[in-house]
Every structure is written in C-alpha cells, then in structure tokens.
Amino acid sequence: MNFDIYCDESRPDLLTTQKPLAKYMLIGSLWLKTDDRTRFKGSIH
C-alpha cells in the first residue's frame, strides 16, 4: 500500500530567530492512501 504524505509546520522562525515571538513550534502531517488522492482532491475543490 502506498501513501501520499503532506507535512506542514507553524512558527519555523523559532529555529532561526534570536528573539522569536512564539514559544512553541508545531509540526503536523496528513497521510492519504495514494489510491484515494484523486477523490479527496476532487472533494476539496
């Protein structure tokens, strides 16, 4: 079974800024079966 994986992060400046505005960083992902990709994309659009 194959999966398409989509990742995103919030506040990546925490890793590069001396005085960041935020305290925490969040990293998330969404895993979809490759066979379902077209169906989900169609539903979103």
How do 3-10 and 26-33 pair as beta strands? Answer: antiparallel
Global pTM? 0.62
Domain count for the chain: 1
Question: pLDDT per residue over 9-33, tens digit each?
Answer: 998 888 888 888 888 999 999 999 9
**Domain that includes residue 39, residue range:** 3-44
CA distance 40 to 38: 6
Confidence band of 34 (pLDDT split at 50, 70, 90):
very high
At residue 23, the pLDDT reads 87
21 φ, ψ to 5°?
-80, -25
Helices (H), 1-45: 37-44
At residue 29, the pLDDT reads 96
CA distance 12 to 36: 30
At residue 2, the pLDDT reads 96
